[in-house]
Amino acid sequence: MAERERNFSAIESHTRDNKNIVNFAESILHNTAEGSDRKLRVQQVTLLCRRIIEHVFTYDMLLTGALDVD
């Protein structure tokens, strides 16, 4: 196993999760633009909102103040 894979980085994990959420949102918008009726689906929006809320509780709330720089 590579050294980088063995070391957990809260910042890298947080950044990766942010990127995953953005990619998911972009894919929803892209698929909507390509669809025949061009409408967002409630299920997709609900899943996106759930991912954002999970992110807040997994990363943002736990890291509040921990990454502050003087």
pTM for the full model?
0.73
d(CA 17, CA 59): 9
pLDDT of residue 10 exceeding 90, the answer is no
Query: Exposed/middle/buried for 70, CB within 10 Å: 0-12, 13-18, 19+?
Result: exposed
pLDDT band at 60; cut points 50, 70, 90: confident
